């Protein structure tokens, strides 16, 4: 090929990007500095209602100290994958601590939640199996379901009846896997895990629950929705991430020992990647200690969630129905333009809450998503409520 010939594929990419701009779907990376509940971006300091640091642990002195100590003792990298030399004594101990926290027999850590989800589904399911997945389940599980090669059947959000109809049709499959988020990341509502476990028992299915947004936040001990709904001993496989309420990074799977051993033997996203560094491992262990020692963090979060949910409902926003008051509060505007306008208005009022648009959410379900954190003050909450009240087209 002639080295001077125009790169037509680059032109195609530009055309696609332009098209995204014209329909308000263009995404870009904006450099920002997170500083406690604030975000500094473009010379402006904004109240940050976009992150998932629900318990404000990413800046907790105990976690920072644990990370620094781990770096001083063991360096900055794990040096190899878990099966080579990356499975340190500290990782071993953390996995056992995490299993206890989750009321589960065993645990294994992946570098991220995305990789854990990928590892679970690709290790347990193949073309002989059927994955039944709630329509609003996180993209990482949808990707994992597609990659594993199983038949994928999407059931309407929360619709246990439809799920049962689907389960009835696939009794001949080798395995049936029911896959759901515990707290849905874009809607802030929660799954009915007892109902899913009952169906799993009836149809001999495996239950897989992504507790990314429940871990650290829900339940008496902060273990998650499985604990809150009293099904920790019924859900087969739980995936947690340390990237939300635990303040750092890492995906942890908890399950019976044979499941964990299967992942160690088959999960390519565990086998062919470098193990988490010592600082990450130390942060997760410290986060579990803080969650146990400081229940007031999640109590405050519940209080804030109730208060803000009530306030926005009074303003006319219709929130998804939920049995649990989670800190994820979607202000659904419908059109992408309206979501962008509301987000821009909040920005003018000193608040960062991004517009979430298709394909992350369904067409005509664009929204501004608020995610609360336990260190918000009464002044912060007033700032938010006043800003929403003065929005040009509050719904």
Ligand X SMILES: Cc1ncc(COP(=O)(O)O)c(C=O)c1O
Please report, as ranges, the residues that interact with ligand X according to CB under 6 A. 112-114, 117, 138, 140, 181, 185, 210, 212-213, 241, 243, 251
We find the least distance from the C-beta atom of residue 382 to ligand X, in angstroms, to be 29
Least distance from ligand X to the Cβ atom of residue 345, Å: 26
Output the smallest distance, CB 7 to ligand X, in A.
Answer: 33
Cβ proximity to ligand X, 109 vs 339, nearer residue? 109
Is 106 or 208 the residue whose CB approaches ligand X more closely? 208
Nearer to ligand X, 123 or 345 (CB): 123
What is the DSSP track for 144-180?
HHHHTT-EEEEEPTT-HHHHHHHHHHTTTSS-EEEEE
Cβ closest to ligand X, residue 98 vs residue 114: 114
Percentages of the chain per state (helix, strand, coil), in multiples of 5: 40, 15, 40
Closest CA to 269 of 83, 79, 132, 138: 83
Could you list the beta-strand ranges (E) of 148-290. Answer: 151-155, 176-181, 206-210, 237-241, 251-255
CA–CA dist 344, 342 (Å, integer): 5
What are the two backbone dihedrals, phi and then psi, of residue 167, each rounded to the nearest 5 degrees? Answer: -60, -40
Which C-beta is closer to ligand X: that of 86 or that of 251?
Answer: 251
Minimum distance of ligand X from residue 296's CB (angstroms): 25
251-255 and 106-110 beta bridge pairing: antiparallel
* E strands in 293-373: 328-334, 351-352, 355-356, 366-371
- For residues 94 and 173, which CB has a smaller minimum distance to ligand X in the complex? 94
Residue 339's alpha-carbon distances to 51, 159, 284, in angstroms, are 18, 27, 35
The minimum distance between CB 137 and ligand X, in angstroms, equals 8
Rounded to the nearest whole angstrom, what is the least distance from the CB of residue 332 to ligand X in the complex?
Answer: 18
- Shortest distance in whole angstroms from residue 124 CB to ligand X: 17
- Cβ-proximal residue to ligand X, closest one: 113
Q: Which residues of 172-192 are buried (b: 16+ CB within 10 A; e: fewer)?
A: ebebbbbbbbbbbbbbbbbbe
Task: Give least dist CB 113 to ligand X, A.
Answer: 3
Tell me the two tokens of residue 222: 């902060």
Write the secondary structure of 85-135 as one string of H (helix), E (strand) and C (coil).
Answer: HHCCHHHHHHHHHHHHHCCCCEEEEECCHHHHHHHHHHHHCCCCCEEEEEC
* Residue 213 or 369 with smaller CB distance to ligand X: 213
Nearer to ligand X, 208 or 391 (CB): 208
User: Is the separation of the CB atoms in 132 and 177 below 8 Å?
Assistant: yes
CB of 276 to ligand X, least distance (A): 11
Q: Which is nearer to ligand X, 138 or 357 (CB)?
A: 138
């Amino acid at each position: 090929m002639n080295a001077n010939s125009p790169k037509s594929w680059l032109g195609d990419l530009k055309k696609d990007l332009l098209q995204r701009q014209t329909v308000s779907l263009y995404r870009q990376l904006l450099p920002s500095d997170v500083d406690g509940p604030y975000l500094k971006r473009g010379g402006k300091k904004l109240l940050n209602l976009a992150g998932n640091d629900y318990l404000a642990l990413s800046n907790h002195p105990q976690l920072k100290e644990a990370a620094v100590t781990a770096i001083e003792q063991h360096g900055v990298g794990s040096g190899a994958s878990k099966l080579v030399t990356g499975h340190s004594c500290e990782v071993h101990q953390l996995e056992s601590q995490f299993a206890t926290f989750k009321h589960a027999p065993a645990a294994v850590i992946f570098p991220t939640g995305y990789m854990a989800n990928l590892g679970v589904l690709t290790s347990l399911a193949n073309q002989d199996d059927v994955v039944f997945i709630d329509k609003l389940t996180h993209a990482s599980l949808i990707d994992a379901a597609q990659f594993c090669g199983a038949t994928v059947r999407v059931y309407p959000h929360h619709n246990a009846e439809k799920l049962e109809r689907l389960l009835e049709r696939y009794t001949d499959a080798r395995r049936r896997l029911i896959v759901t988020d515990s707290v849905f990341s874009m809607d802030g509502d929660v799954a009915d895990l007892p109902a899913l476990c009952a169906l799993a028992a009836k149809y001999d299915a495996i239950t897989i629950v992504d507790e990314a947004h429940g871990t650290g936040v829900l339940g008496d001990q902060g273990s998650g929705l499985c604990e809150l709904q009293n099904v920790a001993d019924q859900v087969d496989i739980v995936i947690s991430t340390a990237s939300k309420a635990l303040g750092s990074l890492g995906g942890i799977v908890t399950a019976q020992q044979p499941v964990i051993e299967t992942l160690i033997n088959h999960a390519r996203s565990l086998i062919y990647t470098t193990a988490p560094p010592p600082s990450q491992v130390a942060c997760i262990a410290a986060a579990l200690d803080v969650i146990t020692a400081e229940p007031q963090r999640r109590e405050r979060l519940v209080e804030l969630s109730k208060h803000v949910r009530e306030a926005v409902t009074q303003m006319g926003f219709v929130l998804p129905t939920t049995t649990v008051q989670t800190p994820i509060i979607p202000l659904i505007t419908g059109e992408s333009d309206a979501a962008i306008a509301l987000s821009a208005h909040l920005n003018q009022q000193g608040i960062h809450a991004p517009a979430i648009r298709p394909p992350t959410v369904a067409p005509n379900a664009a929204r501004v998503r608020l995610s609360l954190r336990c260190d918000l003050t009464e002044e912060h909450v007033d700032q938010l409520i006043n800003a929403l009240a003065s929005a040009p087209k509050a719904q």
